[in-house]
Amino acid sequence: MLNKIRLVHNQQRLYKNFRLLGQRATIKLTLPIVSFCRPYMAYMGTDRRVVMITAPASRKEFAKCSERSNNNESHKSAENRSMSMATSGIVESFPTGALVPKAETGVLNFLQKYPDYDGRDVTIAIFDSGVDPRATGLEVSWHFFAAPSKRRLIVISARMQTLCDGKTVKVIERYDCSGCGDVDMKKKVTPDENGNVKGLSGNTLKMSQELLSLNTDPEKTVRVGLKSFSDLVPSKVRNNIIAQAKLKNWDKPHKTATANVNRKIVDFESQNPGEASKLPWDKKIVKENLDFELEMLNSYEKMYGDIKTSYDCLLFPTANGWLTIIDTTEKGDLDQALRIGEYSLTHETRNVDDFLSISVNVHDEGNVLEVVGMCSPHGTHVASIASGNHSSRDVDGVAPNAKIVSMTIGDGRLGSMETGTALVRAMTKVMELCRDGKPIDVINMSYGEHANWSNSGRIGELMNEVVNKYGVVWVASAGNHGPALCTVGTPPDISQPSLIGVGAYVSPQMMEAEYAMREKLPGNVYTWTSRDPCIDGGQGVTVCAPGGAIASVPQFTMAKSQLMNGTSMAAPHVAGAVALLISGLKQQNIEYSPYSIKRALGATATKLGYVDPFAQGHGLLNVEKAFDHLMEHKQSKDNLLRFSVRVGNNQAKGIHLRQGVQRKFVDYNVNIEPIFLNDKEADPKDKFNFNVRLNLIASQTWVQCGAFLDLSYGTRSIAVRVDPTGLQPGVHSAVIQAFDTDCVQKGSLFEIPIIVVQPHVLESDQNTPVFEPASKTVEFQPNTIQRDFILVPERATWAELRMRITDPNRGKDIGKFFLHTNQLLPKQSCLKLETMKIVPVGSEHESTTVFKVKGGKILELCIAKYWSNFGQSHLKYSLLFRGLEAHNPNAYVMHAGSGIHRLEVEALVSEDLQPQLQLKNAVVVLKPTEAKISPLSATRDVIPDGRQVYQNLLVYNLNVAKAAEVSLYAPIFSDLLYESEFESQMWMLHDANKALVATGDARSHNFYTKLDKGDYTVRLQVRHEKRDLLEKISEANMVACYKLANVLSLDFHENYNQCIVGGRKFVSAPMRGATRVLYIAPISQERLTKANLPAQCTCLSGNLIFPQDEAGRRVAQHPFQYILNPAEKKTHTNGASNGSPPAGSAAAAAAAVTANGTKPKATPQAATSVANPAAGDGITVQNDAPVESGACPASPKKGKANADDYAESLRDFQCSHIVKCEPDMAEKIYNEVIGAHPKHLQAHLLLIQSIETSQLKSQLPLTFVNAQKASIEELGEGSDKQKDEQKKMRGALERIVKLADKVIQETDSEALLSYYGLKNDTRPDAAKIKTNMDKQKNNLIEALSKKGIALAKLAVLDDNVKDRVADINELYTEVIKFVDATDTKAIQFALWHAYAHAHYGRMYKCVVKLIEEKRAREHFEELAAINAALGHEHIRAVINRMMITAFPSSFRLF
């Protein structure tokens, strides 16, 4: 049967004539997404090779379908005819081939020529932010088969789509090397008889019989852990997850609750008109309660977005490997929880929610669970470019049949920054896979930073090892930091040129398809792609490749694909191309090495004559020619060799002259050494037989060297002379190429790159140094780059660049110019002194840009018209140098102990001076309290073969006395990553409850974290395989830098004596060449005290500014340090000094007890100090006549006899032990004290504290109520045990009431109120009287509060709270006569008083106040109970989440 049909989707015709094959034939179809439109019809996509299938049907049915289709067409025919003119220019095909570009580099031609060399048998490791195995083109694919059926419904059989090697999985391994996803699973528990397990969250986890039967652990134990999922996804996705959860579970009940409270407030105000402040106190607390309820609801609404979700994790072994269960229900129902096996065995990924999918790995015999997420979409996009495999070949990656290994090096705790730990673990895993016969062929790393130097560094050494020992081709993005020179990142700029660095190119086809540009421009590199040379003169960019693509991204983005551009996109293009080459070489059994492939890429790249040579390396990648080159020279003796090129004592990779004006030639010694791949295991015969005769060719006449070099297997040194004396200002490049005289057409075996910069020197007789180009105006086309190198005049500190377009009739047309200025400083990266910004420039107004400069250093002024900015522009620009600075030694460091600080200020030419010094930060140096070296994981942290990595874990204590913004960093590590001698320097900041607050690594000194008041622990991990090196940094300090709440400004004086006396200040003055001396006085102790500096502050930091010019003040800022005097050490004497009371014999006795080995219990905070005799008996203070005491330093206080002093000291010593001893002993001591001192009220309060500590649990109201209910349920209501417990508790509470009554009765509250009503006390002993009155007041408040709480608890036990409200109110009104209800002395009683009235809003306010003082789990439990009592279950659930995250059982793993 042959039927002609039309296929229609969404009213658009897809195919006009498609012939359905006979019903006996089987049609093989690709079906990525299926949606059944009708019972007998399936729509399979819009790609031209994907078709719609219908079941075999009768001609009648086909006629009906055809008739319906014709009717639809006829209804639209008139409309279509009327639109035919308008749509005549529509192009019916989209240039999909340019979405993931491949034609530019010959990939399409190569695959057409060699269809089997499509990446098969090749594995690419993606060092990135993680790859999503569920993304389009990277997922497990399917093939669908359609076959005829006897029934009307079509029979569609499906099987997983296979790659060419018969495997079904694209991403074969998936690791999070950063440690971000690690879960501590060391804790083992045994399920009870019902299969219940207590999770670390506190929830009970219910295991079904099915799960229990899967467990193959001999002891049937399971491992439990807890994982916060907030850092497994990017912040934007995290916000989406939170927003969806809020919409689903929060908004409706919360809005209802808010409306209800508002309604109650309106009702109350209508019933109680007038001002709230004039209401009686009982009405006032009702109003306060409603207001606080509303405040509570609003506060939780605001904080919802910051709440982190943590899930219980369960792990146990099964017959098929480890099984992980993650309780995403948060209710302990493990049958509904997420189950997932190890990715290496099962290749499973599971969705935690609609956004996040994860996989897992298990390490260290189950001690560590690794949950693999993604910290950004970047890695998936990169993998899709390299190896995406789609149903449409147009959007395939470069090597569609290559396999992927995902190595996450971006750490979600740091946003997505890579860490040394992650890089070393990733490289270790690559080495292991190569050793185990699962070789990684190519690494793509579209990550990197800028290093301060590149000729050393632990990470770079290991990168070289991966390439040089294991033969892995490593491709790295060059960076997106151009267009200035020396902006190549690390990698590829490491100690050896072993990596392939890639720049970013954009083609006309990409401009059209990806960027929707209105017209095509000639292909070029992107303006921002990083430029050669490396810092040491080496070549960092090997080739350039397409640097943009619309490729697949993770599912959590809710998008199928996304446009990204950068060298991050160019590198995977080259990595995919290398996979094609290796695929072909493997299939032809041709030996290759990373060196032969890199040389082939360089030798065959297409040099683009009109493109910036520093951005393209050897040129645009050409895959076809590279493969031909490898095939032609497959027998070359140097295919397995690299040639190490080392210049001078610094072992540089090239020659780079950029220090001032070059006025004489320079000679260099260059060492050349051939080294075999995996040199230590190479055949000695190959080394012995190796010899190559080279012809050395210098590309420029100003470079000279010998013409020939006979090179055997050993190091040869050649002399290279660079003579730049005749070179004009600008940048000049040359290269010495070494050709094998036996095979010149093979291209150079190695190269020695040479860069010389000759700067413009401004005339010294100019009043104001100004640079202008010789041509006055410069013509700019899109991506035109103008580079000028100027030797910045000495004493210049800032520069002004003025630009204007000179083209006539431009009107308001604006040119888009990319400005990049850079000065390279010794042993510092290109980031240290640069300006990078896009500047709009027009013809009507002059654009001015101001930036900082350093005198005596060469400045590169790089102006480029942005690559996508159409049109021709003529630009006139000039650069004006200005400067004011202090030139005396140590001008920007002031020591308070040195007295007056002197500044000798000079101007470049003529400037207005208006100095300003502001200190904005306080610096505290933290010394380690512990440093412990230990071996790390035996499975993840052992570099082959057997090189164990160790950690030095340093611990620091940080106290924040007041909420502040703080940055933390380790000074000796902070500015280093790739160039560091150590592998990592990660620190974690934990609060007193071990909750993770902040994480930092390299360059963390610029990031501030808001810290609440409290104690914190900083844990710093430094890693290395050499234990002895770790021992050397065991005393490394950390620095905590606090932002000051108020800036400290220092005054300037022109006269030394005026500075001393704080006289006439210097404000401003013109500078005309002569040096002006200014003086700064040290900060007074009074100002430092008012500044509330943190304890142990060592120095203050800020900026010193000299110019009056506003633009100059913004950029010409000099970092300034003010070193504080060392803190005075407190001296201890036997007698009192400066009016402080002596340490009496009670303290001495206590010290003696401690010295004898008795460790006292922690003393609860009392209202008064038992060691201070001034407390007296709570009534009056003695005023006996003074007694002459002589000169003895240990003499008793004046006015007291020796016997009295002894008695008081003994009493105070006894009192200090009431709260420390067991109940019986405490009672005995109490009776002795009261017997000897019946008026000593403090003893009653101390016994109350002893009873509370030993006999009563310190519980907040609702927690106490719930505990009583739980006790009744557990022990049984009315049972003997339950009655006995209640009796004991009741007895303790009644005793507290009696003790408190004794204090209340012995205290004259009316006298206290009269005293505090006094405005001024003029009595001679007013200070003593005040001390006594304060202590009596505190005793009374404490007694009233303790009694009130005890009465409330008794009311709960008797279930008659309402009947006791009047008694509780009476005590409450007495307390608030003296202090506010939220005062720390009364807040616990205020909380119970609110409970007695069922005022949950007031309870909330009290608990929040307690949390501000100390974050404790019991406070959060009370908040949850408060909301449960109000019926706010949605808030209770959120508070429970907060508790789980805020109170972990241990510190987080690194």
Just list the catalytic residues.
128, 378, 568
Pair of tokens at residue 20: 């359905």
- Hey, which bits of 857-949 come out as E strands? 858-865, 873-882, 884-886, 893-895, 901-907, 911-926, 930-935, 942-943, 947-948
Burial class (CB in 10 A: 0-12, 13-18, 19+), 220: exposed
Token match 């899109």: residue? 782
Closest by CA position to 730, among listed 776, 703, 761, 765: 761
For strands 442-445 and 123-128, give the pairing: parallel
Pair of tokens at residue 1117: 């800022």
Burial class (CB in 10 A: 0-12, 13-18, 19+), 1383: middle
Ramachandran bin of 638, using left for φ above 0, alpha for ψ from -120 to 50, beta for the remaining angles: alpha
Report whether 661 contacts 792 (CB < 8 A): no
Instruction: Return the SS3 of 875.
Output: strand
Instruction: Return the SS3 of 625.
Output: helix
Contacts with 809 (C-beta within 8 Å, 6 or more apart), sequence order: none
What's the CA gap between 599 and 596, in Å, rounded?
A: 5
What's the CA gap between 435 and 403, in Å, rounded?
A: 18
Query: Torsion angle of alpha carbons 306, 307, 310, 311, nearest 10°?
Result: -130
Report whether 783 contacts 810 (CB < 8 A): no
Using alpha carbons only, how large is the chain's radius of gyration in Å? 39
Pair of tokens at residue 653: 């990779």
3-state secondary structure 1076-1122: EEEEECCCCHHHHHHCCCCCCEEEEEEEEEEECCHHHHHHCEEEEEE
Closest by CA position to 1343, among listed 1198, 1227, 1273, 1245: 1245
Report whether 912 contacts 1109 (CB < 8 A): yes
Report whether 460 contacts 979 (CB < 8 A): yes
Instruction: Return the SS3 of 1132.
Output: coil
Pair of tokens at residue 30: 């690709």
What's the CA gap between 502 and 573, in Å, rounded?
A: 9
What's the CA gap between 1250 and 1217, in Å, rounded?
A: 10
Instruction: Return the SS3 of 663.
Output: coil
Instruction: Return the SS3 of 988.
Output: strand
Contacts with 674 (C-beta within 8 Å, 6 or more apart), sequence order: 638, 641, 642, 643, 644, 690, 692, 711, 712, 713, 714
Closest by CA position to 638, among listed 703, 591, 601, 683: 591
Instruction: Return the SS3 of 117.
Output: coil
Residues in the chain: 1454
What's the CA gap between 1106 and 429, in Å, rounded?
A: 54
Closest by CA position to 337, among listed 351, 322, 327: 327
Contacts with 746 (C-beta within 8 Å, 6 or more apart), sequence order: 603, 629, 633, 636, 739, 740
Token match 């610096």: residue? 923
Report whether 101 contacts 525 (CB < 8 A): no
Instruction: Return the SS3 of 1073.
Output: coil
